[in-house]
Structure 1
Amino acid sequence: MSFNTALSGLNAAQAELNVTANNIANVATTGFKESRAEFADIFSTTSFGSSGTAIGNGVLLANVAQQFNQGNLEFTSNTLDLAVSGEGFFILSPSETNSNSIFTRNGEMGVDSNGFVVNNAGARLQVFPVNADGTVTATSLSSTIPLQLPQTAGVPTVTSLVDIGVNLPANGNILDPLAFDPLQTSTFNASTSLTVFDSLGESHVVTAYYVKIADNQWATYYNSTDANGATLPLNIADVGPGDTAPVGAGGQTYHTLTFDNSGSFVANVPSVITTTAIDFLNGSDPTQLISFNYANNNATQFSSPFTVNVLDQNGFPIGRLTGVEISDTGVVRANFSNGQTTALGKIALARFQNAQGLGQVGNNSWQDTIDSGAPLVGEALTSSFGQVRSGALEVSNVDLTAQLVNLIAAQRNFQANAKSIETNNTVTQAIINIR
């Protein structure tokens, strides 16, 4: 019996050595959680035996328990390096055909050939679908989707509205609007240009020309160029009877801006400034209309130089992905070359009633079990979930110094149990040698 008792001690010491060696081997593994060997004594007696005089039968390995305490955060320059500061696991989908979720604290992410954000084993990072403003539409585990980075910002957006806020010089010379010529700077007082986009996403430069025609009154012409580079006058459409655009040089219609004696904007004629249909002769939509808004953009007429305070339009070309931003709450936004920003999703997090009950599946990942309980899914910085840190990784929580001490202790335990076997062997040999 004493041989078996000592043998169980050897096995226990060997198990502790194995656990400690595994911890040490993963001291540099991102998101790794150290394990602890937990032992229990073996106690054996009959139902009528005396427990007061019973001797134990040795030791057994009761459990190898992982310790889910937070590891230190190591900051990197990679946006897709992720860490959770606090409670929570990232949710991963092992593959396109495997719907069983796995969970990890390892946020070393990259992008595969299809634009999906994946870990180094190819498992896809799961996010909650979001609205345009980044608010989540559903927060259940079944509603999560793989995070995929788009290559373009979608179809182009045609310019339909231009916001302009200018100061027109009150001391400018009064000119004849019928003499306007965009090639003769002496026929207008000031001009400004901006880029607009047609239905194909092609850019065009539109120039506004300001001609002072009376005190506190200005005529405004608009020109562009067609696909052949020729000047393309943009006519202003009539709103209705009694609200028509004046006809100016070469039969081109224009609109007027009126200011009061204090230089504040009063009105424009027509009351709605919209061009007639524009055909850029490049295959784009020939019915494109552009509206110009001065009233809401603080247009003024002061005795100071011509200045442009507001100049904006609502069109965009096709954009290429230029970068990704991830907020502390896990909202993933894609930035595009056309200036657009799109919310792609919100990183989903999971927690468990008993994290030590999770089943290991390798690659620093776990799956839920009966012991762990079902995953509780939510958003970062809500409930008890932690903060998502982009450009950071959670390093292994292994304390190397403590593990080296454990190695020494396990080695001593092994030697002591081996000595027990040696002593038992000596006693047995002494009995055999009795004559």
Structure 2
Amino acid sequence: MIKALFTSATGMTAQTTSIDNTANNIANVNTNGFKRGQVDFQDLIYVDLRPAGSTAAQGLTVPTGLQLGSGVRVADVTKIFTEGTLVNTQNPLDVAVEGDGFFQVTLPSGELRYTRDGGLKLNAQGNLVTSDGFLITPQISIPTSAVSIGIGSDGTVSVQNAGALNATTTLGQLTLARFQNPAGLSAQGRNLFAETASSGAPLLATPGQNGIGLTRQGFQERSNVDVVAELINLILAQRAYEFNTRAVRTADNMLASTTDLVR
């Protein structure tokens, strides 16, 4: 059997994964805080038909070897954590992270998750929560008497209360987390990431300290997906897939020609 059939099949499988990743990137082009995925490929094992440096004659060695590869596979899909565009929404509960860092989110189970989506909301108790109602950690509650909310670049949350508009009351401070290897985080959906052994433990700090970025009130971070680049990747993956199918057809035609010889 011609090896090209199996080699081309690995290329088709790999390009299918690449297209799936590109489709996910494009689908999330307007998702707040979304980080695009990048597919990395890796060649498969090689068959040594003639090792480099083997003896050709007495005192002579061949300068190059004869190796045939077995194709390609997807090594990983890496999340690229470059900062997305900050858009001014004029919503006092929208908070973007300018620089490195994640908001901490507590699930109903008590587990911690991390997000770049700063589209915060208030629940019935006045607590700052995500769009899914998950509490922001550390927990900050806004009193019902508050008429305006201020969030400083250092994460300080303060309000002005009705009847005391000339006075500002500090309620708490947002704490951000950063990771030694953010690409090692596990994407959980709902704009959330989970800590893994590869990401390392979170390093907590107030915004603006220890490499943590600043918080910007009234801004939202959009996704870092470049639609033009994704469309180019889509075209490249499609063409690569077509070239692999052409290699399959060529190998099939060669087998057909061989079969005709013995008729």
State how far apart, in whole Å, the 2-side matches of 1:363 and 1:424 are: 45
Q: Superposition pairs for residues 62-211 of structure 1, below 5 Å?
A: 62-95=75-108, 98-127=109-138, 146-151=139-144
Q: State the match for 1:396 in structure 2.
A: 223
Q: Superposition pairs for residues 27-426 of structure 1, below 5 Å?
A: 27-45=29-47, 50=51, 52-95=65-108, 98-127=109-138, 146-151=139-144, 320-339=145-164, 340-426=167-253
- 2:51 is matched by which residue type in structure 1? S
Q: Deviations over 1:336-385 (max 9, x none)?
A: 11215322111010001101000111111101100000000001111211
State how far apart, in whole Å, the 2-side matches of 1:45 and 1:373 are: 38
Q: State the match for 1:432 in structure 2.
A: 259
Offset of 1:74 from its aligned partner?
A: 0.1
By percentage of residues, which structure has more helix?
A: 2
For residue 403 of structure 1, give the secondary structure of its aligned residue in structure 2.
helix
Q: Deviations over 1:11-47 (max 9, x none)?
A: 111111111111111111111111111000002347x
- 2:119 is matched by which residue type in structure 1? E
Q: How many residues align?
A: 246
- 1:81 is matched by which residue type in structure 2? D
For residue 55 of structure 1, give the secondary structure of its aligned residue in structure 2.
strand
For residue 87 of structure 2, give the secondary structure of its aligned residue in structure 1.
strand
State how far apart, in whole Å, the 1-side matches of 2:51 and 2:257 are: 30
State how far apart, in whole Å, the 1-side matches of 2:142 and 2:151 are: 13
State how far apart, in whole Å, the 2-side matches of 1:428 and 1:124 are: 63
Instruction: Choose which of 18, 25, 29 in structure 1 pairs with 2:20.
Output: 18
TM-score by length of structure 2 reads: 0.90
Distance 1:49 1:375, change over 3 A: farther
Q: State the match for 1:143 in structure 2.
A: none
Offset of 1:124 from its aligned partner?
A: 1.1
State how far apart, in whole Å, the 2-side matches of 1:403 and 1:329 are: 35
TM-score by length of structure 1 reads: 0.55
Identity, in percent, stands at 34
State how far apart, in whole Å, the 2-side matches of 1:77 and 1:101 are: 29
- 1:83 is matched by which residue type in structure 2? A
- 2:136 is matched by which residue type in structure 1? L
Return 5+ residue gaps in structure 1 as ranges.
128-145, 152-319
Offset of 1:49 from its aligned partner?
A: 7.2
For residue 66 of structure 2, give the secondary structure of its aligned residue in structure 1.
coil
Offset of 1:2 from its aligned partner?
A: 1.6
Cα-Cα RMSD: 1.5
State how far apart, in whole Å, the 1-side matches of 2:4 and 2:212 are: 51
For residue 433 of structure 1, give the secondary structure of its aligned residue in structure 2.
helix
State how far apart, in whole Å, the 1-side matches of 2:149 and 2:261 are: 83
State how far apart, in whole Å, the 1-side matches of 2:193 and 2:208 are: 22
